Each structure stands twice: as structure tokens, then as C-alpha cells.
Amino acid sequence: MVLAACAKHGVAVEINANPWRLDLDWRWHARALALGCVMSINPDAHSTSELDLTHWGVEMARKGGVPQECVLNCLSTERFIEYASRRRRSERIERLAG
């Protein structure tokens, strides 16, 4: 239900790259993609020394079969702005309708 809601509202699903977390579990990646989710790989860094944890998230995305074009971190600036603009428009429409 959470993944379906994320897909419906254009909310990116986090792949937490901290090796103590590593969620969203790679076994859910195919389902998220089938629903139309976009992913975001995040190091869950609490200091600059933890930024290198991102590679664990990349490994999990690869293991889960997440293509590069479905990862926010991999989008060009232009494509990221398009994604953010669609989200913003969608949120405005929901507020007006709600």
C-alpha cells in the first residue's frame, strides 16, 4: 500500500544506503518499479565521513534491478527539474481539490 501511494503521488522511495539499514529491501524493488515508483539513493549520513555509504545503496539498487533512469540521483538537472515541477503541480491540484 505504501509503494502504491508513493507511485500515485510521485513520491520518491528511499533506498537507505546505511549498511545497518539497507531499506527499502532489494526484494521490494521490482514491485516498486512495477507500480511506477521513482527511487532515491541516500547515504543516511550524519557526518561528511558517512557520505561514502552511498555505494551500498547503489549496490542494493543494482541487486534489485533498479534502472538508472528510475533513480533521482542519476537524473540530469533538466530531468530532475521536470520531476520536481510535476510533483509541485500535482500537490497544488490536490490542495485545490481537497
Mean pLDDT by groups of 10 residues along the chain of 98 residues = 93 94 93 96 94 95 96 95 83 64
Phi, psi of 25 (to 5 degrees): -50, 140
Query: pTM for this structure?
Result: 0.82
- Residue-level pLDDT at 43: 93
CA dihedral (89, 75, 39, 14) positive or negative:
negative
- Residue-level pLDDT at 88: 75
- Residue-level pLDDT at 22: 85
> CB-based burial of residue 13 (10 Å sphere; 0-12 exposed, 13-18 middle, 19+ buried)?
buried
Cα(30)–Cα(72) distance, rounded to whole angstroms?
17
Query: Could you tell me the three cell numbers for 15?
Result: 533506498
Q: What would be the CATH architecture of the domain defined by 2-97? A: Alpha-Beta Barrel (3.20)
Domain ranges of the chain: 2-97
